Structures are given as C-alpha cells and as structure tokens.
C-alpha cells in the first residue's frame, strides 16, 4: 500500500511469525551477498595466472567493489527511505547476481573489473533498505535484535566462503575439463563465479513473496509522509546528535579495523607461525566461524534486550561495547599459543566476541533515527565502517612488512593492531553511552510532540 493511501492512525504490526520470516529471507540474501563478495579470494590464484595479473591489479578487484559499494549506498538509501523497499532489494539482488555471473563470462581484466563494480552497486542496496524495512516490521524495542540476526547472514556468508573455497574451485576445475553444453570454453575460476552467482536468482523469488511493510513513526503510528526528507533535515539530525553519532561511528569502526584484520590474516597466521596447510586451516577456520560468529551477534542482541528491559537507556551501546572489550584479550591470547591446536580451540570465543558488536552497530541507529531517514543514516555508517574492510588488513600488512618482520611477525602485528584499535573503540563507545541515552530521550520527546 502506498504511503499516501494510509491514514495517520495506529496499525497492528505484522505477526511475529511473518516478521521473523521476512528477516530470515533477508538473512539468506545477506549470506549470498557475502559469498558473491568473497568469491574473488577463492579464485584469486587461477585468475591471476590465466589473465597475467599482478597482485596490485588483483587487489583492485576487491577495492573497486568496496569503493562503489560504499559510495552507491548513499543515493540508493535515499530511494529506500522514499520508495518501495521490497522492489529495490529485488532489483539489487538481481543486479549483483547478474554481475557475479558476468564476472565468469568475461575474458578480460577490464570487464571483470566493471562487473565487480556492478556487484558492489547491487549489494549496496541491501543493508540500508533492510534497516528501513525492519524498523517498520517490529516494535521499536525489538529492532536491535532483529538487525543483529540480519547481520548473521554476513558472517555465515563469509564462513561458507572459507569452507567451500577450495572444494568449489576443485569441482569447477573438474567441470572445466568436460564439454559442457553452455559453458564449454570457461576456466575453473570463471565457472566458480557462475556457480556462486546463480543462487541469487532463487533469492529474488523469495523476496518477491514478502510484502512491503507500512511505514511508521518511532512510536508505531502509521506515517503519511510520502516525500523524501530534505538533506537539510538529515544534516540537522546529525548536528543535534553529533556526539552520539561521531563516537558511535568511530568506536565501531575501530573494532571493525581489528576484526577485519584478524579474519583476513587468519590463514597466513596458521601457515607462517604454525606451519599449517593453508587449505586445511581455511576449512577449519570456516567451520568455527560458521557456528561461533553468528552466535556472538545474537548474544549481543539478546544482551541489549536484557539491558533495555532493566531500564538502561544506553543498552544498545553497552552491549556492543561489552563484546568489543572481550574481543581484545580473546584475539591477543591466540597469538601467544604454542601450537595450532590450542589456537584453533581459542578461535571459538575469539570469533564469538569479534563479531558480536556489529549487529548492534546497525541496530542502535534506527531507534534514535526518524524513520524517513533511517536508510540514509545506515548508509552513511556503512560508508564509514567500510574503512575497516578496506584498511584493517592493509594496516596489519604494513606492520608485517616494516615493523614486525619474519614469519612470527603476523602475530605481533595482530596484537599491536587489536590493542590500539581496541582501546580507541572502548573509549569512544564508553563515552558514547550517555550521549546515546540523551539521543534516545530526544527522539522520544520529538515523537511525542509530533503526535500532539
């Protein structure tokens, strides 16, 4: 139903079963997006050999994705705050799936690069539109947990990429030796792109089955606003809440820098420090990631709900901070283990806490943000936190090359980076707590005034 047709009155929220079913579909979409995003790491070596690429050119395929993913999120979020989010997500999933398949059907570096940009633009739709949509499916106090559950899709997608990486490439290598009726002249890396891209079209069908939710105000009253929010209103929101949003963004960015570096350098850590086989390390790590990463995100969301029920106005920040603080010793102690077995055992709590803050990083925002700008605020945070994905692994790599050299250097690089980023994240989110509580009070007051 279009917003212009909805009367300004209260309307019942969808049933919990239906609302959580929508979240489940969005989790699957998020999981597929991360598999399509990470596939470049799976096929890096055969693609490099086949196309004659340098390491720099190869890395640009990921950087190009990341840059356009971050930038495209802003205008797409503005559309999500105004128009039908179901159809926007449907188009986004279709585009990134087509572009992932296109990566496998192209035969030049330039075309693969352009297709990867297309993947980034398509995927940029999902998080902002989901933040807006989930905000209208659930009562305000349940939004952080719902968005935490949504973020498990990202973790499961990354974990599955590690698990199936070598196996999928090996299977595609066997298929590449056969005469296939349609893909008869494709290399193994090309077939891998095609294989991971195709499931996205099934996700499109799932999304078509959900309904566009009625847009609501913070108190749950149906909104009749059918125009985009002026940029001036968004800037005014940031000015009113600049302390909350600045400390929130920098705090979670700091934890993100440490987290992405930790995950990226896991396999090199086991191969260099413990002499482990890379393929075996990747699969073991992937299985630990698959179970303990999502558990940490859900735990943090449940902690936030528990704190909220006990009257903590800073509950969403406090729960995210708790996970981030526990991440610091969990990551550091792994680097000091004398053998791979103990390191793998301790990866379970480490991945639990490393991933725990990031559902709430998104979930903390919709409850203080006016609904007509939820997607845009989420997109700006997405732009900021993408720095963790882009720079965390690079900073650790610089430490490896210039400060902590040698095979054992990676462990000391991770200790140094985790310590520095952990301190920054802890200080910022600790200071953010009181400002977040004030932002929540201000949002309540503005909503009450609007309803009078």
Residue 291 falls inside a structural domain: yes
- End residue of a domain, out of 189, 214, 239: 214
C-alpha span between 208 and 91 (Å, rounded): 10
Q: How many CA atoms lie within 13 A of 235 on its CB side?
A: 3
d(CA 268, CA 410): 8
* Tens-digit pLDDT profile for residues 423-442: 999 999 999 999 999 999 88
Whether residues 315 and 445 fall in one domain: yes
- Decide which of 181, 214, 247 is a domain's last residue: 214
Q: pTM to 2 decimals?
A: 0.81
Distance CA(369)–CA(442), nearest Å, equals: 10
User: What CATH number corresponds to the domain at position 114?
Assistant: 1.20.1250.20
Q: How far is the C-alpha of 47 from the C-alpha of 40, rounded, in Å?
A: 9
Residue 73 within any structural domain of the chain: yes
Does 177 score more than 60 pLDDT? Answer: no
What are the tens digits of pLDDT across the range 381-400? 988 888 877 777 778 878 87
219 inside domain = no
Enclosing domain of residue 439: 227-452
| Same-domain check for residues 441 and 309 | yes
**Are residues 145 and 255 both part of a single domain?**
no
* Co-location of 272 and 151 in the same domain: no
210/259 same-domain check: no
Assess whether 181 and 259 both reside in one domain.
no
Same domain, 265 and 388: yes
Q: How confident is the model at residue 115 (pLDDT cuts 50, 70, 90)?
A: very high
Last residue of a domain, one of 156, 191, 214: 214
Q: Using an 8 Å Cβ cutoff, are 293 and 351 in contact?
A: yes
Alpha-carbon gap, residue 26 to 189, rounded angstroms: 28
Residue 1 has pLDDT above 60, yes or no: no
In-domain check, residue 428: yes
* Burial group, residue 241, by CB count within 10 angstroms (0-12, 13-18, 19+): buried
What would the mean pLDDT of 367-394 be, rounded to a whole number?
Answer: 84
> Residue 132 pLDDT more than 70?
yes
Q: Average pLDDT of 202-228?
A: 79
Residue 182, judged by CB atoms within 10 A of its CB (0-12, 13-18, 19+), counts as exposed
Rg (CA), the chain: 22
Q: State phi, psi for 222 to the nearest 5 degrees.
A: -65, 135
Best CA proximity match to 328, nearest among 419, 427, 430, 431 = 419
In-domain check, residue 36: yes
> Is the same domain home to 305 and 395?
yes
- Quick check: 7 pLDDT over 50? no
Task: Please tell me the predicted confidence (pLDDT) of residue 421.
Answer: 95
Is residue 355 situated within a structural domain?
Answer: yes
Query: Is the same domain home to 358 and 386?
Result: yes
My answer on whether 207 and 292 are in the same domain is: no
| Confidence band for 180, pLDDT divided at 50, 70 and 90 | low
Asked whether residue 90 carries a pLDDT value surpassing 90, the answer given is yes
The helix/strand/coil state of 102 is helix
Q: Which of 132-136, 219-223, 270-274 has the lowest mean pLDDT?
A: 219-223
Answer yes or no: is 46 within a domain.
yes
In total, how many domains does the chain have? 2
Distance CA 307, CA 318 (A): 8
> Which residue, 262, 257, 281, 261, is CA-closest to 271?
281
Asked if 174 and 242 sit in the same domain, the reply is no
Identify whether 202 is part of a domain. Answer: yes
Nearest to 269 by CA among 345, 355, 353, 336: 336
Split at pLDDT 50, 70, 90, the class of 49 is confident
Whether the predicted pLDDT of 240 surpasses 70: yes
Q: Indicate if the pLDDT at residue 94 is higher than 50.
A: yes
Query: Are residue 348 and residue 416 in the same domain, yes or no?
Result: yes
For the chain, give the percent of residues with pLDDT over 70: 88
Rounded average pLDDT over 407-421: 90
Q: What is the mean pLDDT of residues 228-235?
A: 84
């Amino acid at each position: 139903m279009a917003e212009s047709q909805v009367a300004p009155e209260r309307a019942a929220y969808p049933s919990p079963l239906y609302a959580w079913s929508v979240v489940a579909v969005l989790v699957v979409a998020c999981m597929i997006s991360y598999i399509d995003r990470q596939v470049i790491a799976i096929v890096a070596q055969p693609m490099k050999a086949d196309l004659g690429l340098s390491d720099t050119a190869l890395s640009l395929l990921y950087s190009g994705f990341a840059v356009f993913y971050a930038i495209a999120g802003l205008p797409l979020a503005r559309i999500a705050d105004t128009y039908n989010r179901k159809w926007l997500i449907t188009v986004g999933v279709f585009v990134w799936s087509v572009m992932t398949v296109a990566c496998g059907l192209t035969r030049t570096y330039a075309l693969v690069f352009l297709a990867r940009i297309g993947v980034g633009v398509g995927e940029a739709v999902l998080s902002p539109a989901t933040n807006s949509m989930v905000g209208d499916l659930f009562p305000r106090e349940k939004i952080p947990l719902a968005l935490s559950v949504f973020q498990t899709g990202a973790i499961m997608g990354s974990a599955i990429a590690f698990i199936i990486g070598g196996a999928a490439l090996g299977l595609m290598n066997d298929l590449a030796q056969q005469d296939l009726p349609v893909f008869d002249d494709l290399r193994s890396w090309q077939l891998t792109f095609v294989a991971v891209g195709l499931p996205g079209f099934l996700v499109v069908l799932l999304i078509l089955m959900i309904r566009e939710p009625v847009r609501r105000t913070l108190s749950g009253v149906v909104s009749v606003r059918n125009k985009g929010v002026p940029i001036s209103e968004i800037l005014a929101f940031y000015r009113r809440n600049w302390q909350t949003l600045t400390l929130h963004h920098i705090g979670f960015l700091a934890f993100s820098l440490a987290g992405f570096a930790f995950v990226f350098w896991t396999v090199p850590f086991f191969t260099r420090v413990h002499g482990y086989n890379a393929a075996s390390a990747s699969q073991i790590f992937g299985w630990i990631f698959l179970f303990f990463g999502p558990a940490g995100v859900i735990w943090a969301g449940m902690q936030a709900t528990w704190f909220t029920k006990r009257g903590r106005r800073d509950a969403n920040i406090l729960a995210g901070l708790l996970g981030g603080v526990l991440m610091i010793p969990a990551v550091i102690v792994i680097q000091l283990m004398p053998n791979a077995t103990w390191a793998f055992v301790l990866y379970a709590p480490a991945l639990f806490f490393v991933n725990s803050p990031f559902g709430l990083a998104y979930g903390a925002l919709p409850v203080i943000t006016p609904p007509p700008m939820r997607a845009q605020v989420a997109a700006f945070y997405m732009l900021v936190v993408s720095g963790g994905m882009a720079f965390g692994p690079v900073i650790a790599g610089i430490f490896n090359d210039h400060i902590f050299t040698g095979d054992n250097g990676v462990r000391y690089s991770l200790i140094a980076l985790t310590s520095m980023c952990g301190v920054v994240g802890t200080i910022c989110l600790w200071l953010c707590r009181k400002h977040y509580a004030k932002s929540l009070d201000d949002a309540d007051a503005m909503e009450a005034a609007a309803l009078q």
